[in-house]
Structure 1
């Protein structure tokens, strides 16, 4: 079963320790319920060297996601995936040795209420939470409920975020700060957006929390470039495209191993 001690608000401590050892952080994403044996992918992610794993709760209107993750969400829902079912499967997993972070849209949080939702995450062994459509000035109820449940909510910052709000996002985030590399939706890109470096630098000036860059990071070369500016990366669409194309857990382990190697070969930010 999932180690309850790991879920007791340990995302930031875990990521800080790995970052401070010189390691580039890797957080792969998987849409929960995407296949009958979807939890086997999570085991493969951990085996490939993930430092945390993001599990998306499928939602019918994923407005911040591009076509790949939209398709994955719709496929999971068509299979009958639900928040309760996904959390039940997570709760039955063995300890992966890395924190699980759930991502979802705020409508799903409101369905049960922030308190009940965060308590359900905690019972499932989840340690962190990402709600991309929740702005910082409306996050108080959820962050309070998360604190009560021992869940660490990571807030998102984008290239257009003004510096005072960026400081507030960094202060109120727990676990890490999620830096959105570009204005737009998730999805694979040909190159890392130029806005990523500038945003990561602005965040790092106002917080010592780990900074993870996401949205559009698809290749080892992009992961290596992102590592020059941030503590690590979130990789979603590149993984889900492979899953949708029929990739097995071992295939994803091999792909993530290339990202792991790229991060390990990259210097820390500012070096």
Structure 2
């Protein structure tokens, strides 16, 4: 499933639609293979059915230095269950088949180990729309720039409150799809409050680009989602969704909790 006509990706089309609807997009993250490959596919389908606009499929990694305890635990469980890179592509294929833009969130080492060109080709063949690369910066991403363009994949880079103005400009120029703004310093995870640094960071990004900005790290309920949706183009939720599956061994209970939280997040974002 290649991206659409030249210059316009599926992610571009999503943000054009949500902007026309005067709302932010809801981005949901789950690691492939947690708690099993088949169950992660069903869980992602539940998120999509209940309002997620774009899916981040996490590639489980053994040294997730930027992830908080919830996502670390889920990734660890997926690895213990034997999840491989090919399984990640299987999850991408199933998710993209639901009709939503699907990206992989991955540390760079697994991409290099497989081969950047090969990874890009396999991601595109599975219907993926791009990569979120938390530990790859644009000035070290020459191979990825080439491979992503060859396969019409979006390059989603991260910026943080500590990013200099020069870094924001460089990242904005290199990114496509959207720019991932980390709302807090440190690792990912649910928080009782959204970061006060987030609106300032988004404002700084908007001074240098009109590309969409997604804000992640910490959103766990509808009220927080509404707060972030007021100034960002996308609200990115990870740990809170993962926790729905982690808090019970019963698959249906986990899916019910996941559906309820997704609906709450989407409803919060659509408040006037």
CA–CA distance in structure 2, aligned partners of residues 62 and 175 of structure 1: 24
Of 177, 190, 193, the match for 2:192? 190
| Secondary structure, aligned partner of 1:108 | helix
Which residue does the alignment assign to 2:270?
264
Could you report, residue by residue, the CA deviation over 1:162-206 in whole angstroms, capped at 9, with x for unpaired residues?
Answer: 112101111111100000001100001110111111001111121
1:210 aligned to which of 189, 209, 212: 212
Moved more, 247-256 or 106-115: 247-256
1:160 aligned onto 2:179: no
Kindly state the Cα deviation for residue 94 of structure 1 after the two structures are TM-superposed. Answer: 6.9
Of 252, 255, 263, the match for 2:261: 255
TM-score when normalising by structure 1: 0.92
- Structure 2 runs not aligned, ≥5 long: none
| 1:97 maps onto 2:103 in alignment | no
**Counterpart residue number, 2:238:** 236
- The residue correspondences of 1:21-100 to structure 2 (distance < 5 A) are 21-36=21-36, 37-92=39-94, 95-100=97-102
Distance 1:200 1:174, change over 3 A: same
Give the Cα separation in 1 of the matches to 2:31 and 2:96.
19
Residues 186 and 237 in structure 1, CA contact (< 8 A), matched pair in contact too:
yes
Displacement, 1:249? 2.1
State the TM-score, normalizing by the size of structure 2: 0.92
Which residue of structure 1 aligns with residue 12 of structure 2? 12
Deviation readout 1:131-184 (Å, 9 max, x if unpaired):
101122212221221111111011101001011210111111110000000110
User: SS of the residue aligned with 1:179?
Assistant: strand
Structure 1 stretches of 4+ with a deviation exceeding 6 A read: none
Please tell me the root mean square deviation across aligned C-alpha atoms, in Å.
1.6
Q: How far off its partner does 1:89 sit?
A: 4.0
Pairing 1:225–2:227 present: yes
Aligned 8 A contact 2:27 2:54 in 1: yes
CA distance in 1, matches of 2:167, 2:94: 39
Which deviations, in whole Å up to 9, do the C-alpha atoms of 1:185-240 show, x marking residues without a partner? 00011101111110011111211111110011112111111112211211001111
Q: Report the number of matched residues.
A: 263
Where relative contact order (Cα < 8 A, 6+ residues apart) is larger, the structure is 1
Moved more, 179-188 or 43-52: 43-52
